[in-house]
Amino acid sequence: MSSPARSMRARLAPAATWRGRARMACALLALLLLASPARASDDLTHVQEVFRDAIRRATPATVVCRPRGVASERAGFSSGVLVHPRGLVLSDGDAGLVWVTVDGRVTKSWSDDVVVRLVGQRGSAARTGRVVARDHDRDTSLIELVDGGTTPLPFVPIGVSADARVGDFALALGTTFDDEGVTPPTLTAGLISALSKMPEGEAGGPWRSIFTSAAINQGVNGGPLIDLAGRLVGTVSTYLDPEPDEPHPYLGKAVPIDLIRATFAAHSQMDEIVAAVEEAPAIDKGPAGALESTVHAAALAAWPSVVSLDVKRRAPVRGDTLLDESVVTLPRWRGPVTAFVADSEGHLVTSLHNLTNLADRARPTWRPPEGADHDSGLADIEGATVHLGGGRSVAARFLGHDIKRGVGVFVVDQDADQLPPPLQAAPEGALARGRFVLALGNPYGGERPDAPLLTMGVLGKRHADRAPTAWRGQWQTDAAVLDTNAGGPAVDLEGHVLGLLHLWHPARHGRGSGIAFVVPWSDVQQAVAGVLAGTAPVPGVFGVWFANAPAVLVSRTLEGGAAASAGVRVGDRLTALDGQEVTTPGEARNVLLQRYAGETVRATVRRGDQVLELDVVLEAR
């Protein structure tokens, strides 16, 4: 088995090298899966079986821990994992949690006497346990079953977290619902999305924390995080709430097994756990390993072109937004944001979500508080520092934005030759429903790690060009997009860029929720060209006033304006815009406020007994 000393952590190679490896990995995977229909079926079956086998091994070893003899309303519960056949369990630091009242205040205490319930069984499956050691700072505990059971228990062998790589698949198990172990544990799958380094001089490295895109909540704390070989790489620590200084919000966090080993190294039970690894059979990942390597290689192929942008502002970005007709303020990441190199001329692109509050574009009929509109936020930008890694940085200047597509453009005027090369574009037609997407982020400033913040998903749908929404024409993806990877590239399994990761309305869509957007790469290029030429889109004017009436009645037209020039008259009743029925002036405004100068809106007009179709070319405001 590998040891931390022999860990093969990936180091950055030139972009061309990683792109070559990505192509080789994809070619290998294609050969494995497409050599013949029969071979493809066999290999796909093998991939699925590798996942299933890892799940089968971990499921019966996932347990629930509660304080013994404590009323349910005062007892906390944690998930845990059996790591030795005689009943040794790892869990989080809250195993044995008891809520107590002291001086009228409810606070935490902990009992070392716990009940450990094997998942999926009743009554006799409840075993008595004793917390041998607990470390709250590292959110881990070591539990020993003490009620004399003789039957060997299912267990998950520990692995070596030093060998973990960003892009490895990860499976998280735990008991989300406090159902006393009657049902199997919840299972979620994702990637290892980020690895944070251990501070110099501390034992248990190299990783202080593992972050995963596998869906996590507090109910699975203490449960196992396993790899495709069914080995324990860590125990779930928490689901991260958004904090201004947390670069991995909305991801799951796990305590690496190497750190757990170092924490409990003085206890003889840990020696038994390590010895049990030799009894666990080796797992051949086969094609599943090829898929995992493909993800890893593709991410590293694109990684050199992803930079960290420290935006200088006169005032922070406002988080005021409208949710269920109430004004709320969203917490926002305050650190460096993600951008990537758009061309060889020194231009960088990022998501407008990183630069301003887009609530008035996502909900255009709402007027935000003064200073919270998108124009005010953009006016506060004074410049930026681009962090390239290795302690290098260059200054950048904000050139402008494309509000229609949600793209911000910066330029490095001097030292542009220090920028990495731009990403290679994916082939035409690569944007397709169901296509795999890797979402890359770099919120790390000058502390660039060896690999990006990485999540994975698929392209779910393309929103229609004439949809009455800010995200029309953009692709939706379930790859987790956060404050800290928005603005980064969405790439395919060869590391080729598909588009730019974007968030439009996080109050309604969430962050890391499975609803995010990819601005197609061709649109990003158009945005850059428009900013450089001074022709970036501006909101359009239809050129009418509506009567204060239930129907959409035209009470006045702008003389020589867009609607009048197309033939719209006072007294006309609009019944549809671009084929979408409108029955109130508010519905009509909601459609028109998402249109831009130069675009053509087809207005369906009822004039007496006539129904007319008029094409209105919007003008600039």
| Same domain, yes or no: 68 and 122 | yes
Cβ–Cβ < 8 Å for 593, 362 = no
The answer to whether position 361 is within a domain reads yes
User: 550 phi and psi, to 5 degrees?
Assistant: -60, -35
DSSP state of 435: -
Q: How far apart are CA 172 and CA 232, in angstroms?
A: 10
Q: Point out the least confidently predicted range of 118-122, 213-217, 316-320, 557-561.
A: 118-122
| Same domain, yes or no: 525 and 388 | yes
| Same domain, yes or no: 526 and 590 | no
Element spanning 237, H or E: strand 232-239
The answer to whether position 327 is within a domain reads yes
The answer to whether position 68 is within a domain reads yes
Q: What local confidence, expressed as pLDDT, does residue 179 receive? A: 55
More confident residue, 519 or 20: 519
Residue 506: is its pLDDT beyond 80?
yes
CATH number of the domain where residue 545 is located: 2.30.42.10
| Residue 565, both tokens | 């020039």
404 CB-side CA count, 13 A: 25
Please report the beta strands in 434-565, taking only residues with DSSP state E, as ranges in sequence order: 436-441, 453-462, 475-477, 489-491, 497-502, 516-520, 540-541, 544-546, 554-557
Q: What local confidence, expressed as pLDDT, does residue 467 receive? A: 86
Q: Point out the least confidently predicted range of 114-123, 465-474, 489-498.
A: 114-123
Band of the pLDDT at 308, cuts 50, 70, 90?
Answer: very high
Cβ–Cβ < 8 Å for 195, 212 = no
| Same domain, yes or no: 210 and 230 | yes
166 CB-side CA count, 13 A: 28
Query: Which of 487, 503, 533 is at the close of a domain?
Result: 533
User: 205 phi and psi, to 5 degrees?
Assistant: -75, -175
| Same domain, yes or no: 486 and 589 | no
Closest CA to 354 of 377, 328, 375: 377
Q: List, for residues 16-65, the tens digit of each pLDDT value.
A: 566 565 555 555 555 555 555 665 566 677 778 888 888 988 999 999 99
Q: What is the mean pLDDT of residues 466-474?
A: 91
Q: How far apart are CA 172 and CA 190, in angstroms?
A: 8
Buried b (16+ CB within 10 A) or exposed e, 412-440: beeeeeebbebbbebeeebbeeebbbbbb
Residue 201: is its pLDDT beyond 90?
no
Q: How far apart are CA 409 and CA 282, in angstroms?
A: 50
Q: How far apart are CA 206 and CA 257, in angstroms?
A: 11
Neighbouring residues of 424: CB distance < 8 A, sequence distance ≥ 6: 19, 495, 496, 497
Closest CA to 299 of 410, 392, 195, 419: 195
Structurally, how many domains does the chain consist of? 3
Band of the pLDDT at 468, cuts 50, 70, 90?
Answer: confident
Distances (CA, A) of 567 to 543, 577, 602: 12, 15, 12
Please report the beta strands in 325-452, taking only residues with DSSP state E, as ranges in sequence order: 326-329, 337-341, 347-351, 381-389, 392-402, 407-411, 436-441
Q: What is the DSSP string of 82-149?
A: EEETTTEEEE-TTTTEEEEEETTEEEEEE-SEEEEEETT--GGGEEEEEEEEEETTTTEEEEEE-S--
The answer to whether position 20 is within a domain reads no
Residue 424: is its pLDDT beyond 90?
yes
Residue 239: is its pLDDT beyond 90?
no
Q: What is the DSSP string of 568-621?
A: --TT-EEEEETTEE--SHHHHHHHHTT-BTT-EEEEEEEETTEEEEEEEE-EE-
More confident residue, 40 or 364: 364
| Same domain, yes or no: 508 and 609 | no
Closest CA to 232 of 253, 210, 207, 257: 257
Q: Point out the least confidently predicted range of 170-179, 545-554, 601-610.
A: 170-179
| Same domain, yes or no: 515 and 561 | no
Q: What local confidence, expressed as pLDDT, does residue 499 receive? A: 98
Element spanning 254, H or E: strand 252-256
Query: Which of 515, 533, 551 is at the close of a domain?
Result: 533
Band of the pLDDT at 364, cuts 50, 70, 90?
Answer: confident
Residue 12: is its pLDDT beyond 50?
no
| Same domain, yes or no: 502 and 592 | no
Q: How far apart are CA 569 and CA 553, in angstroms?
A: 10
| Same domain, yes or no: 546 and 517 | no
Q: Point out the least confidently predicted range of 122-131, 187-196, 378-387.
A: 122-131
Q: What is the mean pLDDT of residues 286-300?
A: 90
CA 130 to chain centre: 38
Q: What is the mean pLDDT of residues 328-334?
A: 88
The answer to whether position 149 is within a domain reads yes
Q: How far apart are CA 208 and CA 439, in angstroms?
A: 23
Q: What local confidence, expressed as pLDDT, does residue 289 receive? A: 85
Q: What pTM did the predictor assign?
A: 0.88
The answer to whether position 292 is within a domain reads no
In 10 A of CB 365, how many CB atoms? Answer: 11
Query: Which of 511, 533, 555 is at the close of a domain?
Result: 533
| Same domain, yes or no: 268 and 312 | no
DSSP state of 471: T
The answer to whether position 207 is within a domain reads yes
Cis? peptide before 206, omega within 30° of 0? yes
The answer to whether position 433 is within a domain reads yes
| Same domain, yes or no: 236 and 349 | no
Look up the domain containing 234 and give its range: 36-285
| Same domain, yes or no: 588 and 521 | no
Average pLDDT taken over every residue of the chain: 89
Which of the residue ranges 33-37, 118-122, 609-613 has the most confident prediction, judged by mean pLDDT?
609-613
Q: What local confidence, expressed as pLDDT, does residue 77 receive? A: 87
User: 363 phi and psi, to 5 degrees?
Assistant: -125, 75
